[in-house]
Amino acid sequence: MPLSTVWVHAENAGDKPKTISLENISKAREIAGNVEAWYSGPNAEAFAAELGKYGVSKVYAVDCGDSLPSIPLASAMKAEIDKGNAPDLIMFASTYDSRDVLGRLTVGLDRAAITNGSDVIVDGDTVKVGEAIFGGSQIVHTEFRTEKPYLAMFRPKSFEASPGGEKSAEVVAVDAPEKGKVTITARHEEERSGPQLEDAKIVVSGGRGLGEAGKYEMIESLAKLLGAAPGASRAIVDAGWVPYSYQVGQTGKVVKPDIYIAAGISGATQHMVGMKGSKNIIAVNKDADAPIFTIADLGIVGDVHKVLPALIEALKSR
Amino acid sequence: MNVVVCVKQIPDPAIPGQLDPQTHFMKREGKLILDDSDAYGVEMALQLCTAAGGGEVTLVSMAPNNETSGLRTALAMGAAKAILVSDDSLAGSDALSTAKVLAKAIERAGEYDLVLAATESTDGYTGFVPEAIAALLGLPSVTFAKSINIEGGTVHVQRQTEAGYDEVTSPLPAVVSVTAGVVEPRYPSFKGIMAAKNKPVDTLTVSDLGLSGVGGAAAGQEITAVDPAPARQAGEIVTDEGEGHLKIVQFLETQKVI
């Protein structure tokens, strides 16, 4: 039996809904009769029109002003639930803000949440969340032992975002009983070239094996030639070679491109979680025992400083 | 300036993790170490105290079997004291239980201006324990800090976002979670390691904290099945002898991307 209503915490990236919000909404449409969204960004009417194309019937809009949304949004959700308007399940995304809203709400409702989900299964009266653990080597299925609404957070790319069940989503402005305490005073966007990591068909990532920050240039040239997005392992992000927005992995972005090229990346669990779902994986690494070779479709045991320049030349001359 | 730092002691991440086949709780036997992610918070706290011209860093941790080896590492870096909550009933705690335990422990740390934590632990990584602690303590919270500055009663944070970073300000006290790379953690000195042996570690049980309804028995979720993930087969592995790049070109051609 499907669920009756599911709420999805939806966020914007610029003037569009985030892909992960559309992914969660698409899944919600599949498991529930009615999908509603919570939103605290700008231009709620236009945003709701977009969500309507994915089957959302109602958007609760909360004005958080210049503050981080966790306190106001969670307090507004709780107030709505306390009024008796409660869904069966609330889906959050493993984004910076959504995770924080969930953190506040789990305390507000005094109710546990399941995080890092990659699947949700409705089986009769039970709802189960699938989660990959230990670097994606095992899938655990976890059942809620709480009252409804169940609280769950999902990782990017867990579901396919597909329009459907078109509705004209009504916008309902909701007051937040608690105001935010943390003020955003400025926003900075780091420039990056090429396609977005999460959406790219090809991703070329570099790791510690590049040896030094300057050698990341090779990754950028190769990415440019292939129309790919450049990515990175946590090691070189921590080392300050490239900005955090390049990071692929458990703490970074999850990517599922057609082709993932890992250069000088040994394949720590932290990294593999973020790219294991790629259709094809090509790895170049000096160490023949590097874990990345256990999942590579094509592995080149060799020096990235030789293989990459040769590859770049070969592609240029085509 | 007094700072409380939440730290986790975890099994060595180099050793593959395991679930107990009966309880499905994560196995935490053997020696535990300080989670690498927490070294950044400890270092940040020490630097903030130095910048403020004084103050103390207090560690708060929850771990089985009165485990202190990870805490000793952080004490050796320069933290003054630690509060450890250790109780058999806490095995299998969910993130909300963990937050409740840590929040209660923080209330015993005396006067503080700031609570620091990692953005997520390496082994469990729910990532919402810091925000939940803030909610329980009634404090504001900033997650994913890549730099922290204190001015008077306000903390200024550069907070990571998908696109770059935001500058945010919050009144103190507050809970802030820090990313790896916010500072470079120091290595404990020999003197620090010796001094750490005699620093106070206050070990408490759940009932010492006056808490109930926490731990594995109160968990709001239950693992009902554990399956191996569909395994990826390794493909062709070639040793580069000057022709490696051609194999890649060929592969890209087969995939029709060039």
Of residues A123, A59, A115, the one with CA closest to residue A92 = A115
pLDDT given for residue A135 in this prediction: 67
**Cβ-Cβ contacts under 8 Å, A188 against chain B:** 164-167
Question: Does B177 reach chain A within 8 Å, measured CB to CB?
Answer: no
- Asked if B10 contacts B122 with a C-beta cutoff of 8 angstroms, the reply is yes
Q: What's the rounded mean pLDDT across residues A212-223?
A: 96
Amino acid at A245: S
| CB pair distance less than 8 Å for A140 and B220 | no
pLDDT band at B30 (very low <50, low <70, confident <90, very high): confident
Taking all residues of chain A, what is their mean pLDDT, rounded to a whole number?
A: 94
DSSP, collapsed to helix, strand or coil, labels residue B106 as helix
pLDDT tens-digit series, residues A26-79: 999 999 999 999 999 999 999 999 999 999 999 999 999 999 999 999 999 999
Q: Which residues contact A214 (CB under 8 A, 6 or more apart)?
A: none
Q: Which CATH class is domain A197-316?
A: alpha beta
**Coil, strand, or helix at residue B5?**
strand
CB-based contacts of A288, cutoff 8 Å, min separation 6: A301, B237, B239
Residue B206 gets which letter from DSSP?
T
B73 vs chain A: nearest CA distance in angstroms?
21
Q: Does B3-218 carry CATH code 3.40.50.620?
A: yes
pLDDT of residue B251: 95
- Residue that is written with structure tokens 């053997």 in the block: B30
Report residue A130: phi and psi, to 5°. -90, 140
Residue type, A286: K
Helix axes B69-77, B36-52, angle to 10 degrees: 30
Could you read off the pLDDT of A261-270 as tens digits, one per residue? 999 999 988 8
Closest CA to B232 of A177, A49, A70, A277: A277
Name the average pLDDT for chain B. 92
Instruction: Give, in degrees to the nearest 5, the angle at Cα A165 between A161 and A167.
Output: 110
User: Are A159 and A24 in contact, with CB atoms under 8 Å apart?
Assistant: yes
Angle (deg, nearest 10), helices B129-137 and B95-107: 50
Cβ separation B229–A132 shorter than 8 A: yes
Confidence of residue B22 (pLDDT cuts 50, 70, 90): confident
Closest CA to B119 of B83, B145, B82, B157: B145
> How far apart, in Å, are the Cα atoms of A221 and each of A88, A300, A311?
49, 19, 10
Q: Which residue has the higher pLDDT, B232 or A15?
A: A15
pLDDT of B16: 67
At residue A192, does pLDDT exceed 80?
Answer: no
Q: Residue B228: pLDDT above 90?
A: no
- Would you say residue B120 has pLDDT above 80? yes
Residue B242: exposure state from Cβ atoms within 10 A (0-12, 13-18, ≥19) = exposed
Residues A280, B223: C-beta atoms closer than 8 Å? no
A204 neighbors A221 (Cβ within 8 angstroms) = no
* Same fold flag, A3-174 and A197-316: yes
Please give the backbone phi and psi of residue A313, each rounded to the nearest 5 degrees, phi first: -60, -45
B 20-49: CB under 8 A from A: 24
Q: What is the pLDDT of residues B204-219, one digit of tens each?
A: 999 999 999 999 988 8
Share of chain B above pLDDT 90, in %: 72
Could you identify the residue written with the tokens 């070969």? Answer: A314
pTM: 0.89
DSSP assignment of chain A equals: --EEEEEEE--EETTEE-HHHHHHHHHHHHHEEEEEEEE-SS-HHHHHHHHHTTTEEEEEEE--TTB-SHHHHHHHHHHHHHTT---SEEEEESSHHHHHHHHHHHHHTT--EEEEESEEEEETTEEEEEEEETTTTEEEEEEE-SPSSEEEEE-TTSS-----S---PEEEEE--SS----EEEEEEE----SS-GGG-SEEEEE-GGG-SGGGHHHHHHHHHHHTPEEEE-HHHHHTTSS-GGGBBSSSSB----SEEEEES----HHHHHHHTT-SEEEEEES-TT-GGGGT-SEEEES-HHHHHHHHHHHHHT-
Query: Of A253-267, B9-23, B105-119, where does mean pLDDT reach its minimum?
Result: B9-23
Q: What local confidence, expressed as pLDDT, does residue A137 receive?
A: 73
pLDDT of amino acid A238: 83
What DSSP string describes B8-46?
Answer: -EEE-TTSPP-B-TTT-PBP--S-EEE-HHHHHHHHHHH
Angle, helix A304-316 to helix A216-226, in steps of 10 degrees: 30
8 Å CB contact of B94 and A284? no
Spell out the domain ranges in chain A: 3-174, 197-316
Structure confidence by residue, pLDDT tens digits, B44-82:
999 999 999 999 999 999 999 999 999 999 999 999 999
* CATH number for the domain running over A3-174: 3.40.50.620
User: Which of A133, A226, A289 would you mutate first to test chain B, the one with the most B CBs within 10 A?
Assistant: A133
A135 Cβ contact partners less than 8 Å away, ≥ 6 residues apart: A269, A270, A272, A273, A276
Instruction: Please report the pLDDT score of residue A1 as a whole number.
Output: 63
CA proximity to A138, closest of A276, A281, A255 = A276
Which of B6, B168, B221, B226 should we substitute to test contact with A (largest number of A Cβ atoms within 10 Å)? B221
Please tell me if residue A300 touches chain B, with a CB cutoff of 8 Å: yes
